[in-house]
Amino acid sequence: MTSAGTATRRAAPRTGPAWVIMTLVCACQFMVILDASIINVALPAIRRDLGFTPTGLPWVVNGYLLTFAGFMLLGGRAADLFGHRRMLVAGLALFSVSSLAAGLATTPEILVAARLAQGMGAAMLAPATLAVINTGFTEGRARARAFGAWSAAGGVGGMAGAVAGGAITTGLSWRWVFLINVPIGAALIGTAVMSLAGTRSSRREPLDLAGAVTGTAGLAALIYGVMQSADHGWASVPVAAPIVAGLLLLAAFIVVEARSAHPMMPLRLFGIRGVAVGNGMLLLFGGIAMAMWYFTSLFLQNVLGYDAFRTGLGQTPAAVTFVVVARLTAALLPRTGVRPAVLAGCGCFVAGFGWLAQAGAGSGYVTGVLGPTLLVAAGIGLTFPTLMAAATAGVPEADAGTVGGLASTANQVGGSVGLAVLASAAGARAAMEADGSSPAALAAGYDLVFLMAAGLGLAVAAISLLLPRQRRG
């Protein structure tokens, strides 16, 4: 636990009112998550206007996710070396400028390049917001509330994406999906400059270039290979080659970091049990979240026959439940401790996904989808802010950005790999039926995914027993 003296020193970077700081970091998190989902509804209009090929169009989404996940470790370390405010402002500036370029794009190449740059801006932003929370909100209750609000902001961003994307694309143009970020980003930059102290590490360390190259390239190659699995088999060259290359680069990254005098990812941080255990749980949690939001959406559309609008409405109660429970968890966490909250959330996962796995083509919405998704969403609200708080607790101020980048990376990589593995399992199970594309066959595949997600919930519960006991309050 952090001593009172340390807490006082670490609280110094927060110079504006607490509510202004929280509004800033929550707005940044909202915008980052919103831009990962808002684009989906606009894809048909983008393809029509810019002439995307069927294989090129997914990169409007994948380009953002690839650089977002691949550059977060680097973004986190840069925040520690060059200052949290500096990197947050730089991330907002890059995000806003690339949003402007995306909104004005006249060719597919320009749009994809702009989305890659957007992802890099998001990779600078996400760890910086976590570092601001970790260094500016150190008292137990304030820290728990901050992580709860930050988590809820991401949930609202994901929930609002489909609705906002459809409304903007229909009422204005797909270009405004991107252009709306420009004035918002400018306002957030002004807020950050006025409310955050301009701090940077007192240690004048050089950036670990070898670690930056091997770590970033390794993560990018791994995620790229996983993304290719949607169109190719796991044993195919387009999938296996980048995955193997990514794993080799990550192995080289570990060797480089062990030998470096100024590592990008100091391996000593994994000696903090909360960091090691929390990030392990976040990897698995990424798959659980994907099983919930992605596959229940497919179930509603492909099995129950809902259109995109009704699907968004059908998932809204679960999204609201997540936001409410995340805020309640923030209030209760200082009294309950981390482990009980995680175990309660895992209980909700197992019960909810077990219930979801019973749904079929003849199921009704209320008993087949609504009831179980409310349980799973409550589990997500209990665990996500708790895991983020656990994975960043007890960290020296000079490493706050690095650990924030690590936690965000673990969650993103877990989601990407989890989505690919679960999608493959669902497709293989559906193909075993006589008509692999019928609603009943697809339901069988999704039911298998929900059972696998319940298993992930059990695994998270088991790993949570390794968390250190923490003082409450």
Could you say which DSSP state residue 303 is in?
A: I
Beta bridge partners of 14: 196
Please tell me whether residues 389 and 426 are part of one structural domain: yes
CATH code for the domain of 318: 1.20.1250.20
- What the block records as the tokens of 411 is 């969650």
Q: Are residues 179 and 290 part of one domain? A: no
**Statement: residue 99 has pLDDT above 90:** yes
Of 180, 202, 224, the position where a domain reaches its end is 202
Give the range of the structural domain holding residue 197, as residue numbers without chain letter.
1-202
Total-model pTM: 0.76
pLDDT at residue number 96 = 93
* Per-residue pLDDT tens digits for 19-49: 788 888 888 888 887 777 777 667 778 888 8
* Same domain, yes or no: 297 and 437: yes
Nearest CA to 411 out of 421, 419, 422, 400 is that of: 419
Burial of 440 (0-12, 13-18, 19+ CB in 10 A): middle
pLDDT in tens, 316-357: 888 888 888 887 887 787 777 788 888 999 999 899 999 999
Co-location of 227 and 250 in the same domain: yes
In this structure, are 223 and 190 located in the same domain? no
Residues 99 and 218 reside in one and the same domain: no
Specify whether the CB–CB gap between 7 and 138 falls below 8 A.
Answer: yes
Quick check: 278 pLDDT over 90?
A: no
Phi then psi for 14, rounded to 5 degrees? -90, 110
Q: What is the pLDDT of residues 50-84, one digit of tens each?
A: 888 766 777 787 788 788 877 877 887 888 778 87
Could you tell me if 26 and 150 are in contact, meaning their C-beta atoms sit under 8 angstroms apart?
A: yes
**What is the model's pLDDT at position 139?**
65
Eight-state DSSP code of residue 469: P
Co-location of 213 and 192 in the same domain: no
Same domain, 185 and 228: no
**Do residues 222 and 141 share a domain?**
no
- Give the type of residue at 208: D
> Cβ(385)–Cβ(147) under 8 Å?
yes
Q: Are residues 252 and 280 in the same domain?
A: no
In the chain, the number of structural domains is: 3
430 has pLDDT over 90: no
Of 263, 284, 306, the residue that ends a domain is 263
pLDDT digits (tens, 9 = 90+) for 193-242: 888 775 555 556 677 778 888 888 888 888 888 878 777 778 888 889 99
Which amino acid would we find at residue 296? Answer: T
| Phi (first) and psi of residue 37, to 5 degrees | -120, -25
DSSP state, 14? B
CB 202 within 8 A of CB 219: no
Do 277 and 149 share a domain, yes or no? no
Choose one of 187, 202, 217: the last residue of a domain: 202
| Mean pLDDT on 140-158 | 72
Residues 142 and 233 in one domain: no
